[in-house]
């Protein structure tokens, strides 16, 4: 499902999230309201619109309870520019590593790509027609133009022209029928030898993707080379080439910037990793520095990108973290103020695990059934087996590290290891997993605490 933001009501957003994420109703409700508010703000009168700031959210909860999955599903259902980044990857300006402004440069790149793809779709039919005409020109060169050549004939009545036109129509029918798919044609394609430039800016070294020809323009015309390709490949290349000619890149960039500024969403994962006091040494040396660098971007500032200035005032920031070691109050006060909405996600129970295994459209059991179906094996689980897997997942999470629903991956992989290894060599056509099979396969591992730490 992919709808425009105006079609997604908060209840529809939650309903869509329910298909993939079990529980966490408070978190779903908060992100649904925040996403809808993107659209609501754009309907407000101009004077007040600029004053309405996004209510940024912090999702607090242990790993494996659905924080990142909520972000992934939001990205898929919304046509708004969306990027997920990890706070722990960034460093304070002055240290080696990525600076926080690269978040905005990344999301604008993504938005430009999104808009360009949309516009390519709009001109696709026109581009296909033009590509077909160019292919026909290669198969049957056009007659000389009356204006340019000495040839004198009436283009509508002359027998030469009429014969050429009939031949071209026949070729068009044969081309569409795939009769020429094995034939090769020669095309002029751009030479890809031109070097890329790296721009050394105050923000650090960023690959801005600037080509020397973009800088020097007509002084150095783009080099081309002859390349032979079969008709289907030539058609795809020519459609792409014609699409680029039909698209106004200035309009693409303008629309992309507008989308980022008014509807952009940044999911800032692992924000707890930059909370707390700096240790003064090691990789954590700039944690508070990263927070200080994030402040102006979250609050609203202008960031230089290769497409121009991008304002971050109305970008929605959704942060998340487990906060095992630190807590939200360990963030610097200014950062806490930039995230007024806080939602605590609940730890998962045995009942939640049972639902996670069976209900979502991408449930783990459905995934394994589909995987083994490709080998001609019918895999089934009894209700007791599913309950036993969920029970063991809860026990191991309590006794070892609590990694939430990710524990189900490790348990199912261990449980099905023999079947997955034996198929297709052992000529198995059916596999039924009962509660006894689960206990037998995992009993020793669960009881041996040291072993379970390594395997589960």
- pLDDT band for 211, please (50, 70, 90 cuts): very low
Backbone angles phi, psi at 339, to 5 degrees: -125, 75
CB burial of residue 295 (10 Å; 0-12, 13-18, 19+): middle
- Looking at residue 256, its pLDDT comes to 93
- The β-bridge partners of 310 are 303
Tokens of 148: 């340019």
- Looking at residue 104, its pLDDT comes to 92
Provide the phi-psi class of 276: left if phi over 0, else alpha when psi is between -120 and 50, else beta: left
- pLDDT band for 97, please (50, 70, 90 cuts): low
- Looking at residue 29, its pLDDT comes to 92
Measured distance CA(400)–CA(446) in Å, rounded? 10
- Looking at residue 447, its pLDDT comes to 74
Helix (H) or strand (E) holding 383: helix 383-399
Identify which of 134-138, 397-401, 430-434 has the greatest average pLDDT: 430-434
Measured distance CA(391)–CA(393) in Å, rounded? 5
Q: Is 218 in a helix, a strand, or coil? A: helix
Mean pLDDT of the chain: 81
Q: What is the mean pLDDT of residues 331-359?
A: 88
Q: What is the mean pLDDT of residues 246-253?
A: 89
- Looking at residue 210, its pLDDT comes to 46
Considering only 140-154, 215-229, 430-444, which range has the smallest mean pLDDT?
A: 140-154
Percent of the chain predicted with pLDDT > 90: 20
Q: What is the mean pLDDT of residues 26-30?
A: 91
- Looking at residue 221, its pLDDT comes to 62
- pLDDT band for 178, please (50, 70, 90 cuts): confident
Alpha helices of 283-400 — where are they, by DSSP H? 287-299, 333-338, 350-358, 364-373, 383-399
- Answer yes or no: is pLDDT of 190 > 90: no
Asked whether 40 and 325 are in contact (CB, 8 A), the reply is: no
Q: What is the mean pLDDT of residues 78-85?
A: 85
- Looking at residue 94, its pLDDT comes to 59
Q: Which residues contact 237 (CB under 8 A, 6 or more apart)?
A: 187, 189, 229
Distances (CA, A) of 14 to 33, 68, 186, 332: 10, 15, 53, 32
- Answer yes or no: is pLDDT of 200 > 60: no
- Looking at residue 213, its pLDDT comes to 47
Q: What's the residue count for the chain?
A: 456
Measured distance CA(424)–CA(371) in Å, rounded? 12
- Looking at residue 369, its pLDDT comes to 93
Task: State the residue for tokens 């030539």.
Answer: 234
């Amino acid at each position: 499902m992919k709808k425009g933001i105006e079609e997604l009501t908060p209840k529809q957003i939650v309903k869509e999230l329910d298909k993939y994420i079990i529980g966490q109703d408070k978190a779903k409700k908060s992100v649904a309201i925040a996403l809808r508010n993107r659209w609501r703000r754009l309907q407000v009168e101009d004077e007040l619109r600029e004053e309405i700031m996004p209510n940024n959210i912090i999702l607090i909860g242990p790993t494996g309870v659905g924080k990142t999955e909520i972000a992934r599903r939001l990205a898929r259902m919304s046509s708004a520019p969306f990027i997920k980044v990890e706070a722990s990857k960034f460093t304070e300006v002055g240290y080696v590593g990525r600076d926080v402004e690269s978040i905005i440069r990344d999301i604008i790149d993504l938005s430009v790509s999104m808009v360009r793809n949309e516009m390519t779709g709009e001109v696709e039919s026109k581009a296909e027609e033009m590509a077909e005409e160019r292919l026909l020109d290669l198969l049957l060169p056009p007659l000389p133009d009356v204006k340019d050549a000495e040839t004198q004939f009436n283009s509508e009545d002359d027998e030469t022209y009429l014969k050429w036109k009939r031949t071209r129509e026949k070729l068009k029918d044969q081309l569409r029928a795939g009769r020429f798919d094995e034939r090769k044609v020669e095309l002029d394609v751009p030479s890809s030898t031109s070097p890329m430039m790296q721009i050394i800016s105050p923000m650090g070294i960023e690959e801005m993707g600037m080509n020397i020809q973009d800088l020097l323009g007509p002084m150095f015309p783009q080099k081309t080379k002859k390349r032979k390709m079969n008709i289907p490949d030539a058609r795809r290349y020519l459609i792409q080439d014609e699409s680029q000619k039909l698209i106004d890149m200035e309009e693409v960039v303008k629309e992309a910037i507008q989308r980022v500024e008014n509807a952009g969403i940044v999911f800032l994962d692992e924000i707890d990793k930059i909370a707390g006091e700096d240790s003064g040494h090691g990789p954590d040396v700039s944690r508070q520095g990263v927070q200080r660098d994030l402040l102006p971007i979250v609050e609203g500032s202008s960031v230089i990108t290769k497409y121009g200035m991008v304002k971050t005032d109305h970008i929605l920031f959704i942060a998340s973290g487990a906060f095992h070691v630190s807590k939200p109050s360990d963030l610097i006060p200014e950062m806490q103020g930039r995230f007024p909405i806080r939602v605590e996600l609940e730890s998962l129970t045995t009942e939640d695990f049972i639902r996670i295994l069976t209900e979502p459209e991408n449930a783990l059991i459905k995934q394994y059934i589909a995987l083994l179906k490709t080998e001609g094996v019918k895999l089934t689980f009894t209700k007791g087996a599913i309950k036993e897997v969920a029970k063991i997942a809860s026990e191991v999470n309590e006794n070892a590290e609590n990694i939430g629903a990710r524990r189900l991956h490790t348990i199912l992989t261990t449980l099905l290891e023999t079947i997955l290894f034996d198929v297709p060599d052992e000529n198995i056509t059916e596999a039924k997993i009962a509660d006894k099979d689960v206990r037998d396969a995992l009993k020793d591992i669960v009881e041996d605490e040291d072993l379970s730490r390594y395997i589960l």
